[in-house]
């Protein structure tokens, strides 16, 4: 847990209290405490050690609550608030654009689920409610449909965490097993957990203690943590064949033809007279293609690009992030806090920039040869311009430009906005290009062929944002431009543990078939800066 996580719990509780009418003062107190946590430059461990006392904005009662949550990892009051909502009402929080006030209004009108919200929109009832109107209702219904479609899926790391626990249980009972399905292929979101176990069905039942609803064609079907679970029992002699078939995708497996029985996947491919294809390259989009001879590895990355600190909305001080990156074996780190227009994230005005740059100079003197690069995640404004005058942009080592607002512009207007940003010689990296949040909101609609073609021609690097909630640029688009674009893997890290997100970025780069040399993080810092300076000229 970090400060950002703890603050998010307080914000969640405040939203629920507002919906339930728990009192404006308490709601404000929780939100004020969340802001105080995020703004504090001290590490969470130090705050917790003194019981969160002395932090402006956190009173004695909330300090005791935070200490309890930090020590136990549990927040009983939050669970109580969630339990007081009608069944299905929590799903309304997943609808982009619905805040606590609107959700409270919906509940007062008996609209307490995604399905009910969609129905109210289709009948015109939603548009008639105070605070909505026709346009707002249309947006809410579109967002509710997206949320409903996403409700039965989880982010890749969530599915992996559940699967790892099941694998541990199987191994503890002496049963060898492997991931299969979309988890093994590394899809961004997954709808269930698939495993292949070298055991008979009865042994699997006993080991997992999961209630399996049925056995169909020798496959055990059940549920775990609310997700569908399938376990494919296999013998030693056909384990590789079962694993290949259970991993999929269906289109990829069908294209292979009849599968011979073999102990390993490699042997199956050999008997088919085909080169081995790693699981991440087995989607329908990969048919007829082969991945690079050498996949990208985490060890290939020399630098970390796209990191936030407490100067904006990060949870850790700059020095802590720099030391963590150095200790993880990186040679450089690009600090890219939010720019001045991002008031919601504590964006940096010129005074804060100068303070940060002075600290970077001091850190570089202390940690040399490790190097912190002076960067920014600049807002791409509605007109396509970047969020500082040219004289300030020129002082950054490297500028990331990202969309955070106006994601609902018409496609043609959004395309022009992105093309104008790409024309700016100070834009080095186009960050999380679509602005999507997986399972929460769709990204901006644009003519991506035109945008990415322009980026390739201009030498603008395109980010593969490795945050599990983004994974943006979509690997399917990156696959089409794998030999034309330069890419950056950015963890979008707001804390030290989030630096590890680059592993997901490496996976997505490999799904996109990107040659390692086209990932700029694999370059030395000076080579990257030379590319940036050449583009500015």
Over the stretch 37-53, which tens digit does the pLDDT of each residue have?
888 888 888 999 999 98
- In this prediction the pTM is 0.85
Q: What is the mean pLDDT of the chain?
A: 94
Q: Which CATH number fits domain 3-150: 1.10.3720.10, 1.10.150.110, 1.10.150.50, 3.30.365.10?
A: 1.10.150.110
Q: How far apart are alpha carbons 481 and 95 in whole angstroms?
A: 32
Q: How many C-beta neighbours within 10 Å does residue 91 have?
A: 18
Contact 338, 348 (CB under 8 A): yes
Sheet with 219-224: strands ordered across: 177-180, 193-197, 227-233, 219-224, 212-216
Contact 321, 334 (CB under 8 A): no
Q: Could you tell me the two tokens for 372?
A: 């912190």
Contact 400, 367 (CB under 8 A): no
pLDDT at 106 over 90: yes
CB contact set of 436 (below 8 Å; sequence gap of 6+): 442, 443, 444, 470, 472, 474
Average pLDDT over residues 494-518: 97
pLDDT score of 498: 94
User: In the chain, where does the domain assigned CATH 3.20.20.140 lie?
Assistant: 298-536
The residues facing 398 across adjacent strands are: 375
pLDDT at 152 over 80: no
Contact 113, 147 (CB under 8 A): no
Contact 196, 243 (CB under 8 A): yes
**pLDDT band for position 89 (cuts 50, 70, 90):** confident
**pLDDT band for position 2 (cuts 50, 70, 90):** confident
Average pLDDT over residues 318-334: 97
User: In the chain, where does the domain assigned CATH 1.10.150.110 lie?
Assistant: 3-150
Cis amide linkage into residue 366, ω under 30° from 0? no
In angstroms, how far apart are the furthest CA atoms of the chain? Answer: 70
Q: Could you tell me the two tokens for 22?
A: 């728990």
**Per-residue pLDDT tens for 360-377?**
999 999 999 999 999 999
Q: How far apart are alpha carbons 257 and 260 in whole angstroms?
A: 9
Q: How far apart are alpha carbons 233 and 175 in whole angstroms?
A: 10
Q: Which of 11-25, 164-178, 287-301 has the lowest mean pLDDT?
A: 11-25
pLDDT at 523 over 90: yes
User: In the chain, where does the domain assigned CATH 3.30.460.10 lie?
Assistant: 154-286
Q: How many C-beta neighbours within 10 Å does residue 412 have?
A: 11
**Per-residue pLDDT tens for 188-238?**
999 999 999 999 999 999 999 887 889 998 899 999 888 899 999 999 999
The residues facing 223 across adjacent strands are: 228
Q: For domain 154-286, give the CATH number.
A: 3.30.460.10
Q: Could you tell me the two tokens for 30?
A: 């929780």
pLDDT at 470 over 90: yes
pLDDT at 158 over 80: yes
Q: Which superfamily is assigned to 298-536 in CATH?
A: Metal-dependent hydrolases (3.20.20.140)
Average pLDDT over residues 502-514: 98
Which residue carries 């805040």 as its tokens? 99
**Per-residue pLDDT tens for 417-463?**
999 999 999 999 999 999 999 988 889 999 999 999 999 999 999 99
Q: How far apart are alpha carbons 1 and 9 in whole angstroms?
A: 11
Average pLDDT over residues 68-74: 90
């Amino acid at each position: 847990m970090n400060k950002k996580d703890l603050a998010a719990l307080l914000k969640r509780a405040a939203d629920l209290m507002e919906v339930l009418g728990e009192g404006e003062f308490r709601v404000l107190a929780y939100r004020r405490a969340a802001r105080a946590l995020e703004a504090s430059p001290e590490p969470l461990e130090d705050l917790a050690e003194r019981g969160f006392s002395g932090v402006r904005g956190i009173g004695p009662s909330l300090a005791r609550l935070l200490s309890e949550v930090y020590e136990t990892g549990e927040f009983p009051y939050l669970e109580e608030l969630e339990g007081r909502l009608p069944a299905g009402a929590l799903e309304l929080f997943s609808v982009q654009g619905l805040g606590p006030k609107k959700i409270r209004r919906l509940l007062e009108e008996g609209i307490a689920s995604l399905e009910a919200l969609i129905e109210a929109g289709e009948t015109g009832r939603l548009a008639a409610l105070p605070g909505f109107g026709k346009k707002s209702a249309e947006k809410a219904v579109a967002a509710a449909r997206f949320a409903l479609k996403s409700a039965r899926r989880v982010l890749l790391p969530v599915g992996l965490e559940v699967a790892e626990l099941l694998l541990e249980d199987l191994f503890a009972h002496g049963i060898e097993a492997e991931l299969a399905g979309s988890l093994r292929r590394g899809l961004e979101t997954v709808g269930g957990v698939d495993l292949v176990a070298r055991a008979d069905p009865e042994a699997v039942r006993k080991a997992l203690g999961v209630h399996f609803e049925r056995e169909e064609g020798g496959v055990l079907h059940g549920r775990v943590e609310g997700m569908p679970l399938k376990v494919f029992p296999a013998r030693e002699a056909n384990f590789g064949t079962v694993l290949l078939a259970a991993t999929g995708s269906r289109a990829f497996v069908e294209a292979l033809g009849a599968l011979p029985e073999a102990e390993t996947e490699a042997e199956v491919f050999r008997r088919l007279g085909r080169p081995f294809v790693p699981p991440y390259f087995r989607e329908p989009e990969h048919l007829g293609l082969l991945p690079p001879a050498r996949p990208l590895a985490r060890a290939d990355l020399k630098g970390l690009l796209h990191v936030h600190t407490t100067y904006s909305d990060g949870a850790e001080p700059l020095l802590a992030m720099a030391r963590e990156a150095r200790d993880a074996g990186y040679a450089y780190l690009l600090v890219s806090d939010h720019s001045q227009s991002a008031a919601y994230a504590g964006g940096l005005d010129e005074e804060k920039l100068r303070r940060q740059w002075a600290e970077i100079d001091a850190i570089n003197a202390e940690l040399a040869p490790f190097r912190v690069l002076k960067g920014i995640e600049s807002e791409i404004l509605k007109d396509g311009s970047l969020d500082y005058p040219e004289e300030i942009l020129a002082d950054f080592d490297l500028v990331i430009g990202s969309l955070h607002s106006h994601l609902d512009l018409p496609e043609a207007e959004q395309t022009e906005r992105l093309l104008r940003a790409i024309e700016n010689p100070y834009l080095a990296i186009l960050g999380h290009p679509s602005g999507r949040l997986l399972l929460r909101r769709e990204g901006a609609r644009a003519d991506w062929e035109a945008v990415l073609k322009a980026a390739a021609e201009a030498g603008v690097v395109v980010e593969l944002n490795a945050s599990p909630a983004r994974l943006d640029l979509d690997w399917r688009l990156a696959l089409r431009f794998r030999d034309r674009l330069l890419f950056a893997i950015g963890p979008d890290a707001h804390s030290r543990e989030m630096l590890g997100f680059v592993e997901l970025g490496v996976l997505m780069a490999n799904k996109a078939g990107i040659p390692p040399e086209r990932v700029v993080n694999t370059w030395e810092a000076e080579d990257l800066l030379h590319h940036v300076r050449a583009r500015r000229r």
